[in-house]
Structure 1
Amino acid sequence: MHAASFHWGMGMGDAQRRLQLALDAAHMAIWDSRMPNGKIVDGTVSWSAHGATLLGLKAQQLTQPFAAFLDCVVPDDRRRVVAVMQDAAERRGDYELEYRVRWPDGTQRWLAAKARVFCDAGGAPERTLGLIWDVSARVLDKLRAAERKELAEVTLSSIGDGVITTDALGKTVYLNRAAEQLTGWTNALAQGLDIGVTLRLVDEASGAALEHPAVKCLHQRQAIGVSAHSQLVTRDGRRIAVEDTAAPIWSSDGVVLGVVVVFRDVSHERKLSQQLSWQATHDSLTGLINRREFETQVAAALRASKLDGHVHALLYMDLDQFKVVNDTCGHTAGDVLLQLLAKMLQEAMRDSDILARLGGDELGVLLPHCPPDQARLIAEQIRQSINDFHFVWDASSFELGVSIGLVEINQDSKSMTGLLIAADQACYLAKEQGRNRILVYQESDLMLARRQGEMLWVTRLNEAFELQHFRLYAMPIVHLSARAESHDEILIRILNTQGELILPGAFIPAAERYDLMAAIDRWVIKAVCHHIKSVRDSLAAPDAFAESHRRTPALFSVNLSGVSLGDPCLQDYVTEQFVEYEVAPEQICFEITETALIANLPRAQVFMQHMKQLGCRFSLDDFGSGFSSFGYLKALPVDYLKIDGIFVRGIAGNAVNRAMVKAINEVGHVMGLQTVAEYVEDEATLGVVRALGVDYAQGYAVGNLRPLTPGRD
């Protein structure tokens, strides 16, 4: 069509007007090109005014050489434009074409053309005539959709969770890479298979098939939440712990098109959860159930007695020579002894009997459906088997005994706590009456014996004050870097008239009940100050001068009871000892337990602030046994955190304990505190503690208990 033919004028026919109106409404223009000798590139292109605007040009009729038009086309598309048009000319046929043009302002647009080739009278191709219009919006939408699809596929392919989609019948449509790896099915193999085949889920406890979340989702037409006990059975039969959710895929008009199932491997998390659950109910050293779980079992037995009238029995056992093994050979030997005894006792008991470790060397046994006479026979068998047990460690051999308290569980029993207290009291009386024996709980006998035992200890403690029977021992606290310093925790013992050392566990309860703890604490403070002065006075003058000017003088950690923390006169007493014995406050560190702090917090804060100003240091003992400790750290001038030994012992083979120590150590360091690991009894534990970055260690792996003073005069 020649350019002149675009001039419609006033004489335009109705048909032409209607055509123009239709083209304008469709945003289309006439696409007209001439090709002399059948060569597209040698011809011209004619545009209507609207057609010129499609090239970004002024809205006016225009005829231009084909080469000029081709310059408007994006270079990458030029060869294709020429090839398609030339092919149509040679075929004398139609063609369709999409290509990009770049406007003079740099804008890029997409154009679409449809045209037909017309020939002259001799049949030679003469021109193409058709329509052209802007399709940029459609093409961009298509490109964006493709990008979104590609992004979604890349995202699904790269995420760690498995994703499977189904159709409305639950047939598999798509698996991402993680789903392929977890299930063992490839995307190609899984196509069209039922979701129950590609994602086979069973209950981890029973192995029974579960109601599939995808099927449930299709039936209920709503999202299905996480299943916490599912196992995936892979294509090759392996089982993997998974968590899975399912959600419907909706169309725009509210039709469920299928389901998307998201699942992930939670083997590690579930294993850790099981370990934590086991830890919560078991003793990590012996594998026996712990005190908390034992109390639960006793409570259940008591409920059963009240419901059905059955009689059960409870044994409370205390090993008689356990402390001798610990003191002679160290805690590692004691741990091995407990493990061997636990294994031996479990093998000897009935399947229904329940054996537990209640504390250090204390064991409990629950004998279900066991009348008193039979319970006494079983208790005697246990006593005899422990009595016959010989424990050998290095060159030392030990014979053991056990004191057993026996209490009946029946309809008249008052409470679980009362039963345990009764059994404990019976065990205590068995020890008082000569050890290695069984005593059946009788309330009248036990109450009298307990009062007599406590009063006896009051007498012994008063004698210890009068006759100077108290002895101090030092347990080193060793820095785990190259820093050389002297730091000891001071521990108290009683040396009785038979030459036996009595540990605090035997006399501290009586001292607490009869208000003697404050006196014991003051004795220890005074004795430590006296020791510091004695060491200094024993040195030659130059050595004494050097000692007094050491950058890091010897540090002594002294334990304070809750009673002393609540004593408003304690700080004056401590100050008087510092003055009398010329002791630098920097040489004293007070160790305080969380329990004592909580019970006496206001006065403890006053005492700690005053002593801190003088130069004393403070250590929070058994940190981690009660997590409320974290809340007090900000309000108290603490220098050291002593990580509870329950987390440190066995840390080399216990990932949970290792994580606990790591967390406590990091919290301490963030708060600017030094950390101390207690009960570091062997090289393996020491290696782990050192690797975790703990500052100090205390235990037989770094130093032995040694006498501090031979006595006081």
Structure 2
Amino acid sequence: MSLFRQLWLAVIASTIIAFAGSFIVSMVTARDYLEQQLAIKNNDNAASLALSMSQLDKDPVTVELQVAAVFDSGQYAAVRVIDPNGATMIEKISPPAAGDVPAWFSRLFPIESHPGSAQVSTGWTQFGTVELISHSQFAYRELWNGAFKLLLWFGVGGVLMGLIGMQILLRIKRPLDAVVGQAEAISERRFTRIDEPATPELKSLARAMNAMVGRVKAMFDEEAARLEQVRREATLDSLTGLANRSYFMNQLAASLNDDDAPPSGSLIMLRLADLAGVNRRLGRESADELLRRIGTSLTTMAAENPGAAAARLNGADFTLLLPGNDNPEPFADRLLALLRDLVSAGLIDGEQIGHIGSGVYRHGESLASLLSRVDAAIATAEGEGSLGWRCANSGDAQCANNNADWKKVLECAIESHRLRLIEFPVANSSGTLLHLECPLRLQAVEDGEWLAAGSFMPVASRLAMTSELDLAAVNLALERLAIGIPSVAVNLSGESVFDRSFRQRLHDLIASRRELAPRLWLEVAETGAFQHFDEFITYTQLLRPLGCRLGIEHFGRQFSQIGRLHDIGLDYLKVDGSFIRAIDSQPGNQAFLKGLCSIAHNIGLTVIAEGVQSVEELNILPELGFDGATGPAVPRG
């Protein structure tokens, strides 16, 4: 039995006991009072009748008339005149009656009318004794009316007490519920804090629970900070903060080959002409300052373009990847201006500065081909001797038709239902299917090619049309679940999740088929989740009661933010494929990913690897703590 119910029963029992005791005491006291009043009345009236009879003639007719006059008033059950020898001279008796009072009440609280008596005299001698017994029906009626009023008052008082008791119990129950909720969250590895209640006993409990949560969160933060340092050492250049060569090559390979990557983009490479000479002439500190300034500029350019990445490939080579951008010229011009500023600052010899090469690529181009073209462009710039930029021959790299009316294309595809989901298995280490990852595909024209999300979602984002596409994707996923597919995962764009109207429409859509919700997995990219974190929390709080599985995909680049995920109700993380590529041969990344899985498990999250390319990568994932994987190496079953 719940504590709340026990408290309610205690309140009800104490109320009933108090009422019953008060009622019985009140009834007995009232009955005794009425009996006393009846006795006084009988004695007074008997004395009055005896005095009247003593003053009149004592002939039988007169005496009987006086007795009858008193009896006929209807207030007496019996009136008697008894002679000095004890014989009854005159007697008037009426049958006993309790009036309209229930018989059970009369039996429960019997009222005894004690007779009143007085002496009747004639001169100095005794004529007889008058005895009066009043009817008790009037006393019963008064007692019954008093009981009814008392019951009515206790009823009203009980309702008022119940309302007051409910408020008091709710006031006690709220902090108890908060503590219980906090304990349940801890059992689910979500660590939440609660407000301390005013009740001293509950306050100390809440304070202890909050202290424990604080200590656990501090441990997570410390471990996250340590792993963030491991990640930086494994993936970033220590001097400039840019990505190192191995990590950048994984990112570049993902941009060229991943199914949802933009269809084209640009790669810009900067090569300093004489870094060793700068180090020799100006010293190591000046050379480091030169490299840091270049790194800062490239980091700024990458931050201005979603999905962009900057890296230091080796001592003198820097590169900037711009997925979805087919015009590298503005960025190359900014890098040229940077080199000129470095010359003005005296950090580079004016005769030997550096050179820039770039190339536009198409999705599917090989990594070796793109790097070869960009290297050739740099070689051309170096051959010309002066500071300059050369763009590689794009060959078959042709951009999408920029003049196409994308808005019309997208609207037409949505209205005519030229949208579909394709399937990629996500399985655990034993090969059991966790769910099907189902990215969206769009057909721009009737019977035309099905475009990957990377081809149209960036455009949809600029046109503020991601909400309609995401709702269509969720609807298609629900249809698949309805025909018996075990579990389906759908990617949602960050722009949609931040839209209040979209969140409500998404909730209503899933709520309308709530029985399917536990098999629906919804995931948002890491950049979208952390960009507007408060809105993302609102999104999770809205959908979690429906039973959906909620997660973050492409996770890892903002690993330092993992401490913010411990109490928002997420179910899983998908680690970005750039951390997974060649993981079997990268001890630094292995240490980072093993720690990531440990922390995620400690806060109740499932961890899935994205973009697994080889059997070697797939085989090492369980050792690192991954719960599942997706990618070309995962068998379709």
More helix by share: 2
TM-score clears 0.5: no
Query: TM-score, normalised to structure 1's length?
Result: 0.41
More strand by share: 1
